[in-house]
Structure 1
Amino acid sequence: MKRKGTDRDQEAKALIQKVYERYNGVYGYRQIQLFLLQDHGVWMNHKKVLRIMQDLRIRSRIRRKHRCNYATSEGDRVAKNILKRDFKADAPNQKWVTDITQYRVGEKWLYLSAIKDLFNNEIIAYQMSARNDNELALRTVQQAWTQQKDVTGLIVHSDQGCK
């Protein structure tokens, strides 16, 4: 005979609620399952954790990724887009594009600044640094400028990046 009015998962619900509140509601059912085992030594199937969280109407808080607001206020410098997505060049040293990329190496970040000639998609200059600053970009441009000959009518294009 089935028992009515009793909740088999009452202890599990209380434990899940406790873990959820301990971590300020940040984590979802997968992490809650791990914390149940890690903090309380209780192994529970992830589907059961999900079902109980749905019954309790608790969910993880979604952390939004940082979005860049590009030069929107007055006084910000915005260069005109002369390139207009025309990434082809008829001769060398007509159009250069540049960007800075970050790489995690062990516990540190390294920043790579590179300049590419759109004529043959060749990297003509690059610099690496532990700091992402204007000096890194300027050193890269200086290296490209000293290595290349016959640079007239050059367009150098860079994305505006985040502030």
Structure 2
Amino acid sequence: MGNPRARYTLEFKVEAVRMVRNGQSQAAVAKILGISTQTLNSWLKADEAGKLAGAGKLVSAEQMEIARLRAENANLRMERDILGKSDGILREEVSVKYAWIERHSRQWPVSVACEALGVSPSGYHNRKARDVDPDRPRRRISNDALLVHIKAVHAESKGEYGWPRVWKRLLAQGIRVSKDRVQRLMKLHGIKARTKRRFKATTDSRHNLPVAPNLLQRDFSPTKPDQVWTTDITYLWTDEGWLYLTVILDLFSRQVVGWSLKPHMRTELVSDALRMAWFRRRPETGLIVHSDRGSQYCSAEFQDLLKSYGMQSSMSRRANCWDNAPTESLWGSLKQARIHGKRFATRREAMDEVIDWLSFYNHSRLHSTLNYVSPMQFEQDWHAAQRKEAA
């Protein structure tokens, strides 16, 4: 519920209305922005009645300002010899100067007029570009409007993003803002990423099964997709008992290409994940699948499956989690974002949460290793570049 005494700016209301108009539910928007659904509903009604000037169009307020300035500028009739005496009307507002320069651009060079009026040519051209293209993002967004977008991005990640990823996501959405400003606003309003917690591994390497050599040797940067996959097992507690998860991770794009969730840790858990990955990707012969020395991976069933797919087995050194660091990092991100601090009444609830996060991770989550794009976007960009080179 929002604060009943809070006063919201028009721009804040406009942004809230926009979020609903773009398809988000009123309840979700109200929760994200920390306001009551009744307040939001009243803003929507005001918008329908035309009482929210500019609702549904972020730059309309600016267009109104430009129209006002043009009307004011229509009364200005100046010549070159009085430019130096323009400290009155023209120095009251930079926007008026830009309007005057535009009106007299055929009479006086822009650079000369800008110099005389004490404004920069780049500033004038930026304003003119926004006038021609109203959908172009504004150079400066108010703190109220920026806070709306920050809360939306933070909620989209379900609290997983800290300020670096929030900032990168805003830039990707066309909102030009400094990282310091995003960090400062998030700190001021108590918006932060979930706290990381430690977790233990599930590996049991106390067996007499054959162990594969370490072919990976911590080279976590393959040059194309489906050269190296890594895999591991983790576990989640529910009121019904343990739920075990394994994934197959493509090291090139850090995309989860296969996964399996079961109430046990038998070899079937890891074999099903590998089958999913193979049917989805159909990689060429020679792909390396790197794992720890757990009995599931060393089993004859799993090793035979690898051979049938033309894959090579690679295993970490004993008790060395750094040899499989990317997958360990994935577990940390998952548990930080969706698991720690939650209680799952059933395994089904936990499965739904994990599957939802894996979808978010592959399609949307900004990955720092990939220069802050999602795994699927990174791979799509790579394929597009390859097609361009081949053309």
TM range (shorter): 0.5 to 0.7
Map 1:24-39 → 2, pairs under 5 A: none
How far 1:136 sits from its partner (Å)? 1.0
Kindly indicate whether the alpha-carbon contact (under 8 Å) linking 1:94 and 1:152 is maintained by their aligned counterparts in 2.
no
Residue aligning to 2:105: none
TM-score by length of 1: 0.52
Question: 2:258, 2:271 → 1: CA distance?
Answer: 11
Question: 1:97, 1:91 → 2: CA distance?
Answer: 15
Matched, 1:128 2:261: yes
Structure 2 gaps of 5+ residues are: 1-202, 297-391
Question: 1:148, 1:111 → 2: CA distance?
Answer: 23
Question: Match for 1:122: what amino acid?
Answer: Q
Partner SS for 1:92: coil
Partner SS for 1:100: strand
Map 1:12-27 → 2, pairs under 5 A: none
Question: Match for 2:256: what amino acid?
Answer: I
Residue aligning to 2:280: 147
Kindly indicate whether the alpha-carbon contact (under 8 Å) linking 1:71 and 1:78 is maintained by their aligned counterparts in 2.
no
Identity of aligned residues (%): 38
Residue aligning to 1:76: 209
Residue aligning to 1:113: 246
Matched, 1:89 2:222: yes
Question: Match for 1:156: what amino acid?
Answer: V
Question: 1:107, 1:131 → 2: CA distance?
Answer: 13
Kindly indicate whether the alpha-carbon contact (under 8 Å) linking 1:71 and 1:77 is maintained by their aligned counterparts in 2.
no
Question: Match for 1:93: what amino acid?
Answer: D
Question: 2:295, 2:271 → 1: CA distance?
Answer: 18
RMSD: 2.4
Question: Match for 2:281: what amino acid?
Answer: Q
- The equivalent position to 1:103 in structure 2, one of 236, 242, 247, is 236
Provide the aligned length of Structure 1 versus Structure 2. Answer: 95
How far 1:92 sits from its partner (Å)? 0.3
Q: Structure 1 residues 134, 150: CA separation in 2 closer, same or farther (over 3 Å shift)?
A: closer
How far 1:71 sits from its partner (Å)? 5.5
How far 1:70 sits from its partner (Å)? 3.9
Question: 1:131, 1:150 → 2: CA distance?
Answer: 28
Q: Structure 1 residues 156, 108: CA separation in 2 closer, same or farther (over 3 Å shift)?
A: same
Question: 2:234, 2:265 → 1: CA distance?
Answer: 9
How far 1:108 sits from its partner (Å)? 0.7
| Structure richer in strand, relative to its length | 1
Q: Which has the higher contact order (CA 8 A, sep 6+)?
A: 1
How far 1:88 sits from its partner (Å)? 1.2
Q: Structure 1 residues 70, 138: CA separation in 2 closer, same or farther (over 3 Å shift)?
A: closer
Question: Match for 1:98: what amino acid?
Answer: T
